[in-house]
Amino acid sequence: MTRLIRGLAALSVLSLAGCGGDGGSMYMAAGFPGTASGNCQMTMSNCGNASASQQMNSAPRPSEPFSVPSTTLSASANGNTYSLTYSVTTNSVTNMFDGQMAQSSVLSVTLGENETTLPTQTTTAYYLTNPYVPLGFSGTAANGTAFELIFNSINPYPATLRVGQSGPLASGTFYSPGTNVALGSVTMTYAVEANNASTLLLKIASSATLTGYPLPEVIAYAVDASGHMSLSSIQITLNGVTLTFM
């Protein structure tokens, strides 16, 4: 189980990435191909079920920062069953991060394997508002390593998401909190893909390393014609075990 949750820190990155940028020269350009960086692929059971004429081709960019109500997804592999409960909740207070006051959101992840449920992991994402600019996040990895991630480059989403868009999102460096000691790095991409007649898929992929461990992740949101979004799936690939939570 430990090897499967080392990379849950990267879901924090994806959560913050999912908040999309607004204005300025940085953060979240348009979509990435279906194969994510870090040799991690997303498989979606409902992709391609609708004909081209029935598929939604565009949708407004969701409001930022993202807010995800507690959602439980499931997966299976090698005879084992897994559950993942995921949420992103905005805070009402400001906090100091990287030398400036920032708004924040708390990401919560609880992972279960068969009859065993691990303690919930929480990570805090930091950003500016008006316009929205993601800054980074802080948390503690499953092995007890505390970290901060500072974004080095970011690209904004387009105002309208269109099927087929792809490109880079962000890159950043993990640090030991309050120091210049680097613990790893992350790069992110995203893609907009067809889903069905009422939603399209916004997929966000992360390829990261933290204290030497690879952290490939993909998270997918379904976005409707009004820009409302909901969690669709999460994929984690670690040490040869690929779990797609849906």
Q: How many residues does the chain have?
A: 246
Domain boundaries, the chain: 2-245
pLDDT one digit per residue (tens) for the chain, 246 residues: 444 444 455 555 555 444 433 322 222 222 222 222 233 333 333 434 444 558 999 999 998 898 999 999 999 998 889 999 999 999 999 999 999 999 999 999 998 888 888 888 899 999 999 889 999 999 987 678 899 999 999 987 788 999 999 889 899 999 999 999 999 999 999 899 999 999 999 999 999 888 888 888 999 999 999 999 999 999 986 557 789 999
Strand partners of residue 242: 237
Burial 83-118 (b: 16+ CB within 10 A, else e): ebbbbbeeeeeeeebeeeebbbbbbbbbbbbeeeeb
Report the pLDDT value the prediction gives residue 53, as an integer from 0 to 100. Answer: 59
Predicted TM-score of the model (pTM): 0.79
Report the pLDDT value the prediction gives residue 115, as an integer from 0 to 100. Answer: 85
